[in-house]
Amino acid sequence: MRFLRILLAVSLACGVLTPAGRGVAADARPLNIVFVNPGKTGEVYWDMVSQTMQAAGRKLNAKVEVLTSERNYRTMQELGLGVVARAEKPDFLILSNEESAAVPIVEAAEAAGVKTLLLSNTLIGEDAARLGPPRQKLRTWLGDITTDLTTAGARMANALIGAARAAKWQSPDGRIHILGIGGDEITPASIARNAGLDLAVAAASDVVVDRMLFANWTQSEAEHVTANYLSWASRKGIRPAGIWAGNDPMALGALHAAASAGLSPGRDIQVVGLNWSEDALREIKAGRLLLTDGGHFLLGGWSIVLLRDYADGCDFAAASTHVEVKTSAITRDNLISVSDLIGNRAFDRIDFTRFRAKAGGCGHYDFSVAALISSLSPPNGGGE
Looking at the Cβ atoms of 28 and 212, the one nearer to another protein is 212
Q: How far is the CB of 273 from another protein (least distance, A)?
A: 19
Q: Least distance to another protein from the beta carbon of 221, Å? A: 8
Rank residues 165 and 211 by Cβ distance to another protein and give the closer one: 211
Residue (8 or 227) nearer to another protein, CB: 227
Distance, CA of 261 to CA of 145 (rounded, Å): 41
Q: How far is the CB of 225 from another protein (least distance, A)?
A: 5
Q: Whole-number minimum distance, CB 201 to another protein, in Å? A: 11
CA–CA separation, 281 vs 275, rounded Å? 10
- CB of residue 297 to another protein, shortest distance in Å: 29
Q: Which is nearer to another protein, 38 or 242 (CB)?
A: 242
Contacts of 91 (CB under 8 A, 6+ apart): 31, 32, 33, 115, 307, 311
Q: Minimum Å distance from CB 129 to another protein?
A: 21
115: exposed, middle or buried (Cβ count in 10 Å: 0-12, 13-18, 19+): buried
Smallest separation, CB 202 to another protein (Å): 10
Closer to another protein by CB, 236 or 358: give it.
236
103 versus 238: smaller Cβ distance to another protein: 238
Q: How far apart are CA 338 and CA 265, in angstroms?
A: 23
What's the min distance (Å) between Cβ of 220 and another protein? 12
Residue 230 or 299: the one with the smaller Cβ distance to another protein is 230
Instruction: Tell me how many degrees the CA angle 284-295-204 measures, rounded to the nearest 5.
Output: 70
The sheet carrying 141-148 orders its strands as: 62-68, 31-37, 92-95, 115-119, 141-148, 322-326
The footprint of another protein (CB under 8 A) covers: 198, 211-214, 224-225, 228-229, 232, 235-236
Between 156 and 213, name the residue whose CB sits nearer to another protein. Answer: 213
Q: Are 127 and 103 in contact (CB under 8 A)?
A: yes
